Amino acid sequence: MDSKQAARERLGQARNSLLDLSHRIHAHPELGFEEEQACTWLAEMLDQAGFAVKTGICELPTAFSASIGKGPLHLGIMAEYDSLPSVGHACGHNLIAAMSVGAALATAKVADDAGLTVTVLGTPAEEIGNAGGKVLMLERGAYKGMHAAMMVHPAPMDFVQPKIIAASMFDVHYTGKEAHASAFPELGINAADALTIAQTSIGLLRQHIRQSDRIHGICTHGGDAPNIVPAHTAARYIIRGETVKDMEELRVKVRHCFEAGALATGSKLEIKGGDKPYTEMRHDADMAEIYRRNAVALGRNLAAPESMARFSASTDMGNVSLALPSIHPMIGIDSLPAVNHQPEFTAHCISPAADQALWDGALAMAWTAIDMAADPNLHKRLLARH
Ligand SMILES: [Zn+2]
Ligand SMILES: [Zn+2]
């Protein structure tokens, strides 16, 4: 039996337990760095399959690594499992977790024969937007010795090389002074006005930024009572640019908008976070092509959809891709008009189309791993890195 057929058979044996894993994670959403159950479930499943598992790596309680095989080509498969506040698994990370475990189980069966070492990295807190799991794990050595990395992410439709741009999330705090809003307003310093001015300035700034730039945020604290001049307001913002360089230029402009609010009202401004941004992604063209071929062989529709023309998102997989050759294809779960980060998308992440995507994504990754090891030029290029 050839390796790919053997991988498919092994995946078939795990099919029910992978579907159960995906649905269970979906039913128990956990926020970034709190994914205790999901991390345990993945680690247990890989441990039972003979992987050498280490949990709590890189000083992160919900991170793990699970390795198998002794081949020269060392591939990393990323498993995300964090959810979003209030909308649950609206980004389908339950599917990412199950696809990555599935790909690893299928590949493990043939790892030594194919010349592979496979490591699943459990990478917490992708949605967090600053200092995500992969950023910290990169800094702390989790990717040392790895030649390439991959993962597959759910989306409304398939897309092999999605546009992944740099992003930075940060918190903004204004401090003013309380006063009776009617009796003694002249003694107050209005921190809510400061945020209003900042938001107005950012609105005006939108005329003067690149089309590829993004600025979006929420007010996380707007005041305490209408008859108390707000002395403390807070907001959480994300800025994005095609590259870290673009994004850092945008950061200066956006900062000026927040400073304008402080200046106009006499409030004190403090900005926290944003120190460990997500970078843009560099897709490895050879790996992407191998994935594309395998996804097509599985019957996936990879015609670049027009509705993806404006698509740009960010992930800490970008940071990984600048450190080692990587891919991050999107896999469709036939959810339109529902899209990522909507509660309707959450519902789609356990649909029959999502379950099919789990199978296809896992097998496409396993087959990509097998083909990568068998491709002499790619093999040579990847191994030459260490
Ligand atoms: Zn997301
Ligand atoms: Zn996501």
pLDDT tens per residue across span 71-128: 999 999 999 999 999 999 999 999 999 999 999 999 998 999 889 999 999 999 999 9
Residues having C-beta closer than 5 Å to ion ligand 2: 91
- Which among 273, 301, 318 is the end of a domain? 273
Question: Listing from the earlier edge strand, what are the strands of the sheet with 116-122?
Answer: 52-55, 64-68, 116-122, 73-79, 148-150, 326-327
DSSP string for residues in 323-346 = HS-EE--EEE---TT--TTSHHHH
> Are 212 and 142 in the same domain?
no
111 in the same domain as 47: yes
| In a shared domain, residues 159 and 185 | no
Structural domain for 229, as ranges? 166-273
Give residue 341 CA to ligand 1 midpoint distance, Å: 6
pLDDT at 289: 98
Q: Which one of 273, 306, 325 terminates a domain? A: 273
The ligand whose atoms approach the alpha carbon of 92 most closely is 2
Do 36 and 17 share a domain, yes or no?
A: yes
Can you say how many angstroms the Cα of residue 6 is from the centroid of all Cα atoms in its chain? 30
Confidence at residue 263, expressed as pLDDT on a 0 to 100 scale: 98
CA 37 to centroid of ligand 1, rounded, Å: 20
Is 153 in the same domain as 285?
Answer: yes
In terms of domains, do 247 and 257 share one?
Answer: yes
Please give the distance, rounded to the nearest whole angstrom, from the Cα atom of residue 127 to the centre of ligand 2. 7
pTM, whole model, 2 decimals? 0.96
CA distance 128 to 278: 10
Same domain, 256 and 190: yes
- Secondary structure letter of residue 158 according to DSSP: -
Quote the ligand 1 centre to 107 CA distance (angstroms).
27
pLDDT at 249: 98
Q: Distance from the CA of 16 to the center of ligand 2, in angstroms?
A: 24
Burial class (CB in 10 A: 0-12, 13-18, 19+), 247: buried
For the CA atoms of 248, 254, 255, 256, the dihedral, rounded to the nearest 10 degrees, stands at 120
Residues counted in the chain? 386
Cα separations (Å) of 106 from 110, 117, 300, 341?
Answer: 8, 13, 19, 30
Amino acid at the residue 375: D
What residues in the chain have per-residue pLDDT under 50? Answer: none
- 155 and 241 belong to one structural domain: no
CA of 209 to the centre of ligand 2 (A): 26
In this structure, are 341 and 248 located in the same domain? no
* Residue 386 exposed, middle or buried by CB count within 10 Å (0-12, 13-18, 19+): exposed
* Alpha carbon of 267 to ligand 2 centroid (Å): 36
Residues 38, 152, single domain; the answer is: yes
Indicate whether 121 and 188 sit together in one domain.
Answer: no
Q: How far is CA 378 from the centre of its chain?
A: 26
Q: Is 279 left (phi over 0), alpha (psi -120 to 50) or beta?
A: beta
